[in-house]
Homo-oligomer: A and B are copies of this chain.
């Protein structure tokens, strides 16, 4: 059911960025993002027939499709700012969508209300659940086959479901290749958590172009793996995220959503950190509205490349 990741060599992008680069694209995964790995594992393993979840969209549509395939049903709480294409996709798979204004009520609070109404349901976190991590570990196991061919993996960090899954899968296969996380500067709670040595929460859902990582904090299950498992986190400015989408389009012929371009943004933001390294960039998903995508690919050349650089070395090396 789960499709293997698509490895893409991208010579032009590689030359542009000045690193040896391999893309591991989850954009052709079922429902257009890695989230299906987690959702299918979770929905197939819990006994409950109804799944409740909150999602900016990718986990929601993954759960909706998994439920359809496994004859279950789901209610997905989505913030009103979610990409329309993601809302439509959840509905297309038969998922029930509840749009909320996150300034009025948090996703978690609305899911808690729904859980009271539906005590028979399983409440699924998009990241903070061992079944989610186990599902995403399938990607880590695929990536472990690159042992000896890459020096590090770059992947986005929101709640930490993807990176904790990749680390778990790699370590299951005895691969020690380091994993570097990427966060928007405006949503850098994971970087702050690693510095503090405990989970640091954002006051509210952070604003960033990368709608897949607008999470309040890392999950507890994820934190246990990430605290010792992530090599470091790169914090990237918004301009680098936009430029990442544009470069993937122009130089790799790849459609990515802003969250999916975070790994490329990291190469733009901190080029010195990756100089001479063989990098595998995990492109997490591609579900983006055409209007936003058009804006992103039409920008670029006029923007100073400097806007993409991190203002100061913000890379943090976790204790290992």
Contacts and interface: CB of A to CB of B under 8 A. Distances in A.
A254 interface: yes
Interface residues on A, range: 20 to 34
Contacts of A122: none
Nearest to A253: B286
A291 B89 CA distance: 26
Given A85-B250, A246-B290, 7 more contacts: A12-B92, A28-B253, A32-B253, A250-B290, A253-B255, A290-B297, A294-B298
A9 interface: yes
A249 interface: yes
A12 B92 CA distance: 9
26 contacts: A3-B9, A6-B6, A6-B8, A8-B28, A9-B28, A10-B28, A12-B89, A27-B253, A28-B252, A28-B253, A32-B253, A85-B250, A246-B290, A249-B293, A253-B255, A253-B286, A253-B287, A254-B255, A255-B255, A290-B297, A290-B298, A291-B298, A293-B294, A294-B294, A294-B297, A294-B298
Main secondary structure of the interface of A (DSSP, over half): helix
Interface in A250-294: 250, 252-255, 286-287, 290-291, 293-294
A301 to B, nearest CB: 10
